[in-house]
């Protein structure tokens, strides 16, 4: 393991630098003194932020992009035949680099199938509010900091521990949080037993400082003396919640019962890290969420709010829909982009059941990511749409494979009083942004909370 004083001698080249995790690593290693370059196949909001920090990403993958003597950093999503990986003299998996960074401070790591980014983001926000100024590398941009990574001056670093490729096992956390455990990455784990073994090995490393949602299954994956958490019976409001935690009332400005549970986990971890509980709990009222987690993109011309959420598992889809319901729309229009053919094949019926809780359902084609359609014959978004129609009790369900068809349908279907919720881990936010006529920053200029659904105002085009 390298010490923390020689980063200025290192040159790191990130393949896929525009990803949420990779861009965060690029920002932190630059802050530590490394020379950082990188490339990605397309533009993204993360690339804009990297440019703002003096990192100029290249668009497209070519061997010539790799500087001499650079360590080439890659993720599991980047295949070995990528020309930049082939040109590398030295390669470094992103998990190994994250482990190097995490070892420079006391590590608080959040793992689990759902809620990692929000729980980790809440922990960052609460620790900052308690004056502990942590470093952090997480999988989404926090609204409170405008970044997905930072190098604070405090003793702690907060990271996400990714189970999708078992890379969490590279970390050795002092505090570990397990939010939940469901089989989600079917190309990595052939059974729930395999997933359980991975989580159990990871959580054992924290010993009595393991923090776990107080449910039998996740608790069975943790040491016997792990610290449980929960947020039973939260009071849900339009755009937030209130609940009791260790004798304190906690108020949140992000919607959904699931976020109350996330907050309880974050606060419990912060308590173990030495944060004053009252200051940490009070700070969470100022937490405004993370990018692509019930993020309000803006409004259509008719005043219909458009929200975007990263939900890509049936449990997450159900939680996002339930949270959106607390905003009290007259109709909830859910638009879903399945992510990965392997996940769609395994969970299409469960996705359909979760989507059936919306009033109108739109399903587009699968976002393939690292998979190929030809390897999964007969698998596509139509399976999810069919399940939603079967289980929806007569609700309107539309199967619209491409974004152009979906945009046309939504422009004809959305009406005043609706709320439109985009869901998926691919690029479904592009469709949401195409529908938006008034951006969130403009729509919220009057100081309204960015997640709050409001009564529609007359269209500026009418």
Catalytic (active-site) positions: 116-117, 160
Q: Which of 322, 328, 382 is nearest to 356 (CA)?
A: 322
Enumerate residues 6+ apart whose C-beta is below 8 A from 95. 162, 165, 167, 168, 170, 171
Alpha carbon distance 304, 119 (integer Å): 29
Alpha carbon distance 381, 203 (integer Å): 35
Sign of the Cα pseudo-torsion (277, 278, 281, 286, in order): negative
Alpha carbon distance 200, 393 (integer Å): 40
φ, ψ at 303 (rounded to 5°): 85, 15
Alpha carbon distance 222, 220 (integer Å): 6
Alpha carbon distance 241, 177 (integer Å): 22
Q: Are 227 and 272 in contact (CB under 8 A)?
A: yes
Q: How many CB atoms lie within 10 A of CB 3?
A: 9
- Decide: residue 129, CB within 10 A, 0-12 exposed, 13-18 middle, 19+ buried: buried
Residue recorded with tokens 């004056």:
131
């Amino acid at each position: 393991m390298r010490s923390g004083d020689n980063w200025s001698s290192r040159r790191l080249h990130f393949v896929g630098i525009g990803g949420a995790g990779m861009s965060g690593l690029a920002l932190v290693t630059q802050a530590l003194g490394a020379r950082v370059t990188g490339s990605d196949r397309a533009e993204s909001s993360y690339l804009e932020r990297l440019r703002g920090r003096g990192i100029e990403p290249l668009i497209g993958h070519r061997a010539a992009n790799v500087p001499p003597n650079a360590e080439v950093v890659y993720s599991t999503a980047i295949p070995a035949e990528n020309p930049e990986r082939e040109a590398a003299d030295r390669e470094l998996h992103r998990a190994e680099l994250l482990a190097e960074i995490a070892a420079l401070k006391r590590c608080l790591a959040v793992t689990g199938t759902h809620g990692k980014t929000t729980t980790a983001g809440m922990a960052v926000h609460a620790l900052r509010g308690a004056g502990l100024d942590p470093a952090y590398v997480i999988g989404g941009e926090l609204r409170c900091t405008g970044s997905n990574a930072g190098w604070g001056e405090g003793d702690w670093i907060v990271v996400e521990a990714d189970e999708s490729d078992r890379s969490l096992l590279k970390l050795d956390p002092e505090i570990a949080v397990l939010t939940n455990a469901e089989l989600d990455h079917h190309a990595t784990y052939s059974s729930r037993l395999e997933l359980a073994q991975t989580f159990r090995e990871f959580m054992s490393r924290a010993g009595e400082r393991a923090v776990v949602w107080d449910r039998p299954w996740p608790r069975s994956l943790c040491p016997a003396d792990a610290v449980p958490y929960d947020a039973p019976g939260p009071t849900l409001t339009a755009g937030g919640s209130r609940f009791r935690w260790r004798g304190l009332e906690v108020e949140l400005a992000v919607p959904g019962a699931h976020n109350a549970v996330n907050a309880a986990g974050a606060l419990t971890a912060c308590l173990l890290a030495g944060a004053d509980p009252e200051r940490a709990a009070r700070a969470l009222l100022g937490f405004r969420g993370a990018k692509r987690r019930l993020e309000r993109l803006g409004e259509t011309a008719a005043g219909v709010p458009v929200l975007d959420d990263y939900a890509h598992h049936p449990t997450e889809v159900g939680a996002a829909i339930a949270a959106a319901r607390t905003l009290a729309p007259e109709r909830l229009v859910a638009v879903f982009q399945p992510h990965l053919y392997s996940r769609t094949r395994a969970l299409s019926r469960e996705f359909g059941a979760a989507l059936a809780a919306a009033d109108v359902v739109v399903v587009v084609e699968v976002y393939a990511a690292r998979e190929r359609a030809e390897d999964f014959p007969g698998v596509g978004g139509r399976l999810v749409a069919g399940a939603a129609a079967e289980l929806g009790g007569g609700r309107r369900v539309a199967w619209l494979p491409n974004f152009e068809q979906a945009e046309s349908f939504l422009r004809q279907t959305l009406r005043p009083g609706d709320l439109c919720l985009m869901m998926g881990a691919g690029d479904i936010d592009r469709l949401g942004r195409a529908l938006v006529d008034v951006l969130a920053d403009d729509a919220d200029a009057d100081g309204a909370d960015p997640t709050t659904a409001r009564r529609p105002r007359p269209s500026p085009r009418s």
